[in-house]
Structure 1
Amino acid sequence: MGDNKIIFEKEVAETLGIEAAIILELYKAKEFDDSLSEKDLFNQIAAECSFINSKILASNFEKLKKVKLIKFDSNQNKQSNEGNFDLKTPNKNDTNSKIKISQTWIPSKETIEVLELGGISINFAKSKLKEFKIYWTERNQARDNWNILFLDYIRREWATENSSNKGMPYCMHKNWVPNEDVFAVLNLSQITKESALNYLKEFIIYWEENGTALKSWNSKFIEHVKRKELTSTNKNGKENIRNNEPGKFSKGFTERKRDQSWAKEFKF
């Protein structure tokens, strides 16, 4: 590396970012003394990187420190509290203290990166930020994990936004069909998909006329089918043994009294 040129590795830049790659290359080329304190090392690097914004420089210095690509004398850093350099990125929660959310709070850069990796629109996250702050401001709670709470909130809202009804209640319509999971649940009760679909048309007609709006109709359909199956009768007019309610007998009292089949298992 010449005095006026900085050459850095492409792989490092792709992984850590261009600024971090530049800082790392300067650190290697200048061969800084490992006995330097964290503050002194940063100041020397800052002097060499006057073309990089101080906040960006600080955040990338912190990044390299975390992955242990730069070294300094940590003992010297502990000996003096005077003039300690704050390497935390702006607006990041202090993990050692709980704070109440303010109207100026914004999620950390790391939080935004996680959302992007999850395929969530950053514009969508920004549009929900005010709502998030209003919700927690009214609750007047002090927390030390606002970034995590915001992350979970946006994930839920994004899932709702991308659902067919966007999480809003909707009325029954003639083209409605139950989810495949519904039939899997019913199958656990020995109710086949074919049997369940026999009740679909009457279910749709009833709730279309009723006009009720629900967020999901699947659980309602499961209840309907189970109730119908429970009261269904076979050709002889007797209740299906499979669908008897708990506590009901499949035979009358007199017939049960005469039944001695249980005694066949005993030998005298």
Structure 2
Amino acid sequence: MDKHHKINIEYAKKLGLKSALIYQYVKDINADTKLQTIIEEFPYLSSEDVGNSIKSLVEQGLIEFDDANQIITLSTTIKKTKIRTPLNNRSNKIDKFWSPSEDAIEVLQRAGVDTEFINGLLDEFIIYWSEKSSALVSYNSKFIEYCRLKWAQHTAEIDTKSVPRIIDKNWRPSEDCLDIIKMTGIDDNFVLLHLPEFILYWKEDGRAFVSWDIKFLDFIKNKWNYNVEVTSKEHTYKFDLFDPYAKDKNKSKKLAKGNIKDLRKKYKI
């Protein structure tokens, strides 16, 4: 069931939309509220948004935050309280000696990310987050996201910059290559028929290339065009005129043939 949250326009003007939503919620409940409850109550707000809003509301003396028990309550005074906020308790800057937890490392390893690659990203990650100020940031989660993104970029780069290779006798075009060939209208049997010729030629040539698919696309396209051209030259087309009496046994075939003969002579067909 979709949740609907009301908001006071005046609160929104003074506090900002996100802070106003949370303040209105805490005010309506008017009881101790767990931080996790608020995070779950507003799924369209990130943990960072919730943390920054709570920090702002605490600084303005509107709510109080019990960091030890992660509980939020409506402030009983309009004065600013000295209660520590999530950011004040947990430094808003990552520690320069920070390292990912064993669970985070395990998650990345299960995803196929190389351990040496993970370690190589650590310094860069720490520098990036040391220059940012955010509340309620899970650095392990952020590090997992960061590593996965960098790993995807790394593997994609490797795929596009492979070492050139000599063609193998068992080489076959990729599925993507075959799909492209099909889209050009070239028959599968034609492809299979000329594949051995392609492999034999490049085996004897001995040169290495990064992508054999590209070479094969050019080869099969030229082969197909040549085949179509040769086939068309081998056929001579004989133009004839329609004989309306050809299938009519009740009409005079002799007369029809005579008429057609005269027309052919006239138009030199």
Greater C-alpha Rg: 2
Length-normalised TM-score, structure 2: 0.41
